[in-house]
Structure 1
Amino acid sequence: MNVAPRTPMLDRRALGRALSRAADAAVADILKASRGEGGHLARRIGVTGPPGAGKSTLIAALARHRLARAGRVAIVAIDPTSPKTGGSILGDRIRMDALVDDPRVFIRSIASRSATDGLADNLPEILAVFDDFGFDEIILETVGVGQSEFAVRELVEVELLVLSPGAGDQIQAMKAGILETADIYVINKADQPDAAKVEAELKATLALTSPGDPPAVLRVRADAGENIAALDDAIEAAAARQAADGDGARRRRARQRIKGLVWRQLTRILADLPQEAFEEPLPDLYATVLSGLAEEGAA
């Protein structure tokens, strides 16, 4: 496959090394190296949803369509880290093997590590590397998430929530959480009998939660490429609406980035406190932790 003329050759080794450095960087190193987000920003498409919905298969089909609009696409797939062993399978790219040989696509699987919101440690820094290397779009796949893991909304311009037939109970559980944050709702495995029922339930729920302008609901069959073109068009429409928000995307990214850094420092400070510190009155313990955060920020 020919590389688009406007897309320069990608140094994949240099990109891989830069991603590894970003993933392993300490908070102090990130703060020292920070240079803001004033340059090129790749469009970010977040794909989230419960386990088994077919997110990876959908992304593989969607990326092929997005390449007609974007010269270079990165796919970042987050795999859960075991809380017992600290290991992660990092197997999402196996389901995207049809894209591996395309020079316009770069696929990276990363472990969630200590993150508990469906994302991963240092994810904003990892995504910023793709900005530096001139990617046009980033498709970000979260781990399989439930009702309350909707932090991805802060990092992307367009959020897709992927569901599958039989998700009626999931829709009820998500009403007060992730169901309220997506721009596009995708019912995958549309050939299965319950797909139309789930679509009807979802549209009825969204009519109540978003009565003015309900988000798009699409049935697709990712493994056969059915209705992916319509999903591609829906993403363009959602991105255009987000663009009208001016610098809203930059604000959301910055907010999530600082939250992640503070959380990592807070976790480390609490882990390093001596046992007797937790016997102090709550206001004193709170002041000790805030003091530790202030010292780290000034270092």
Structure 2
Amino acid sequence: MGSKTAVITGANSGIGLATAKALAQRSFDLILICRNQQKGREAQANVQMANPAVKVDLLFADLASADSVREVARHIKTNYTKLDVLINNAGYTPAKIEFVDGIEKSFYASHIGHFILTYHLMDLLKGAGAATGDARIINLSSAAYLGGSAARFFRKIDDLSPMFAYCDDKLANLLFAKELAHRTAGQGITAYSVHPGAVRTNFASDTPGFLGKVFSVAGPLMRSPERGAETSVFLAAAPLKAIGERNNGGYFADSKPKNTHNRDITDEKAKWLWEKTLPFV
């Protein structure tokens, strides 16, 4: 059994799987949340091989379904007494724009689904924060946040391109971490967003249109999933002193805090996003 417990979404491949294996090697017990059952079981076995001494649980959820996310959160709350690290890693880019309850599907899965999960696991995170002063929430964002616009959030835009949908998702992930840091201040919880770099993953190969072609051509120059996972692993496992107390709520790349450059990254927009998402929980 490990000394700490981490939940990782989208842990069946790519950055999520690499993150899970690295944390297993650092003696974390793990709860892997996956959508695909076969790939999830393969990932569970893979992670367990990385360290047979830790516990590796596997749960299934569709982040584009609020009911599915609530159910997996209920299961975790029933079977665990505390949670040290939550890594909202899963990403979703559709081949075409689709909507769930009037919300663009990738935004629902990438932001709203993770918001619901985080909200319902907050008591477990607070438990760890109270016990150790050190619980952490990590959102996988991307430098694509630069192309995001909060004006498109929650709107049904039929001609929205998958590329800009992805940019919006990554901006929301960043803003969510920023507001989490504000709302959990003084409770032993810290929150961060991460740019993993350009990584060779199935996610990239499945990206449609022009952006998919760019990923395909640039593939040989991209980082391995293991390299892409390094910042998530750093934020999950490094001492808080190494991360820096003043960097709570910050955006990290290459295991270092980075400045952000989007006029929508403000305290006001982060608060607005939280309040706008809250009715979905």
* Structure 1 length-normalised TM: 0.39
Between Structure 1 and Structure 2, the one with more helix by share is 2
Larger Rg: 1
* Structure 2 length-normalised TM: 0.41
